[in-house]
Structure 1
Amino acid sequence: MRHILVFLSIFLVTLSASSSFNPKTYETPLINVNDGEGEIIDSANIVLGSSGVVTHSFKNGESSIIARAVVTQKNGTTAKVRFEVFGMLSQPALPVPGILPKVGDKVILNFLYDRALIVVPNKEIYDQVVKFFPHITFIEPDIMGAFLSMNNKPNPNRDDFRELCALNSAGLIFIAMDKEAVFADCGSFEILKKFQSGEVSYYQTPFYSNIKEISTVFWKFDSAYIKDYNEHYRYLLDLE
């Protein structure tokens, strides 16, 4: 219990000092497009690795999302974005617009950054994180656990989390590990904000939820239990 309290006290102090993480939606037109990349006006609201969407306005006044945009560079004056397929449109019932981004189309960054998946090792940390970020709607971890249970995936990978983000209209993922926690973009898995924290006393894998056990199946080569919580999520986040 003492270790739990130590973690929470340090974790709370760190979050209290860093809880300014509140990315605002930023809209700007494309000012240049070249070979799968675009250029926009830079802003303090833009973080490297953050993402958004590109929208195109039609002659009838309607607009549609035509691509995903990921920030790859910024210099204080302009920023570069890489265009990708917007995964949330990859559904049989929703035809993907056959339109490429062009100058004048609108880029909306920090898209769905008010909704996040939450991956934490225990309930105490879950309660504290939710309390410290009231402006973010965290997806109920039981929903995530049920999804993994249905798919026999006790060791979620990036694609699993991307699918969960798409299903729940979330743009961020919060992951708490031993001595460190992060907000990352749910598509690129680029870290947008880091927090230093204390030691974790106990873990539930793959993360805290009321879904206590997720079964494996022998015919799925990628179905296995997580042996080390921290190692698993540091690997997904490309942390050394």
Structure 2
Amino acid sequence: MKHIILILVFVSSLMAGVVKSPLISIDEHRNIATIKIKKIDIGMSGFISHNVDDSHSVILKNIEVISFDKESEIATLKMTPYDALRNNSLPKGKWKVKVGDTAILAFGYTRGVLIAPNDEIYYRIIRSIKNLQWVHPDIFATILSFNGHPTPLREDFTKLSIATSVGLIFFFLDEKLYTADSKSFKILNITDAPLKQSKVKLPFFSRVDKIEANWFGDGSDELETYESYYFGLLSEANPNNKELKKAINNFNTKAEK
């Protein structure tokens, strides 16, 4: 119960609210912008909002926090094209990001999806975190079936985030809970969650019996392992996370015994 309470405390801190801050500098050649803020987590994602007039605004770029200097309280943001609301039938504006535009971060952090190996672990965790709006993994399984991916790809998680406005993805792996930003896939927190795993449903717990598969291509094969695969996905997006590396090494050591 102690560890479940720790999970609840951390998630509550993430749900404190959307973070808004004006841009103080822009480097268009490097697609970099900066904001001044007292505290922010590296890996948090969001977007840049530009005011067209007093009553209208437009989203110009996706952003991700790539560094934060605690002494100067300067956060560096990587800008990428915003395509969540793409519509080729609508005209595109020619607005450019400017100093003073608003960086909006942690958008969607009140909604989460939990990837768990079985129903018992799934329900124990979501019932302990009551203030988060949980999107059921059945919805993700449906998206995977539409895409023909019995094995979830990183792009599938991005599509889930766009379709459901989910900001956080939780992974239960080897008695730990990993909290990741749904778009950047960067790990925001790792919490001990010593729940015994008696069974595994692949690719994750859901009430969908079968996920349709494409004839070929990435993601078309049935997932054969749970921990190893999701550890691999997280590792690709977090190559320098020492705590994750240690957890993977511990898991591999136990698996070899």
Contact 2:37 2:74 in 1 (8 A): yes
Does the CA-based 8 Å contact 1:117-1:165 persist in structure 2? Answer: no
Between the aligned partners of 2:210 and 2:2, the Cα distance in structure 1 is: 32
RMSD: 1.8
Q: Does 1:213 align with 2:210?
A: yes
Matches within 5 A, 1:62-81: 62-76=56-70, 77-81=73-77
Flag the 1:97–1:66 CA change in 2: closer, same or farther, 3 A: farther
Choose the corresponding residue for 2:221, options 224, 233, 236.
Answer: 224
- Which residue of 2 is the match for residue 42 of structure 1? 37
Tell me what 1:4 maps to.
none
Cα offset, 1:97, TM superposition: 4.3
Q: State whether residues 121 and 197 of structure 2, in contact with CA within 8 Å, keep that contact through their aligned partners in structure 1.
A: no
- Counting aligned pairs with the same residue, the percent is 29
2-structure distance, mates of 1:226, 1:150 = 17
Higher relative contact order (CA 8 A, sep 6+): 1
CA shift digits 1:129-186 (9 cap, x unpaired): 2122222111111111122123321100110110011011111111111122111011
In structure 1, what residue type is equivalent to 2:172?
A
Q: Check 1:19–1:94 CA distance in 2 against 1; reply closer, same or farther (3 A cut).
A: farther
User: Could you tell me which of 134, 141, 145 is aligned with 1:138?
Assistant: 134
User: 3-state DSSP class of the match of 1:159?
Assistant: helix
After superposition, the Cα gap between the structure-2 partners of 1:64 and 1:170, relative to the gap in structure 1 and judged at 3 Å, is: same
Q: For residues 225 and 89 of structure 1, what CA distance do their matches in structure 2 show?
A: 31
Q: Are residue 185 (structure 1) and residue 173 (structure 2) matched?
A: no
Contact 1:130/1:138 (<8 A) preserved: yes
Q: CA deviation at 1:25?
A: 1.3
Please state if 1:26 is matched with 2:19. yes
- In 2, the alpha carbon distance for the partners of 1:190 and 1:92 equals 30
The secondary structure found in structure 2 opposite 1:87 is coil
Shift of 1:89: 2.0
C-alpha distance in 2 between matches for 1:210 and 1:162? 21
Q: 1:91 Cα deviation (Å)?
A: 3.8
Matches of 2:198 and 2:77, distance apart in 1: 40
Residue in 2 that maps onto 1:3: none
| Structure 2: distance between partners of 1:90 and 1:118 | 27
TM-score (norm 1): 0.88
Structure 1, residues 172-207: CA drift from partner, whole Å, max 9, x if none?
111111122111011110001111223422111111
Which residue does 1:16 correspond to in 2?
Answer: 5
Change (3 A) 1:228 1:79: same
Task: Spell out, residue by residue over 1:92-151, the C-alpha distance to the aligned partner (whole angstroms, 9 max, x if none).
Answer: 456554433210001111111111222111111111221222221111111111221233
The 3 A distance-change label for structure 1 pair 57 and 14 is same
Give SS of 2:161's match. Answer: helix
**Separation (CA, whole Å) in 1 of partners of 2:177 and 2:92:** 35
Residue 202 of structure 2: SS of its match in structure 1? coil
Please name the residue that 2:253 is paired with. none
Q: 1: CA distance between counterparts of 2:25 and 2:91? A: 27
1:123 aligns with 2:112: no
Aligned-partner residue type, residue 197 of structure 2: V
Residue of structure 2 in register with 1:8 after alignment: none
Letter in 1 for 2:59: I
Find the residue that maps to 2:84 and give its secondary structure. helix
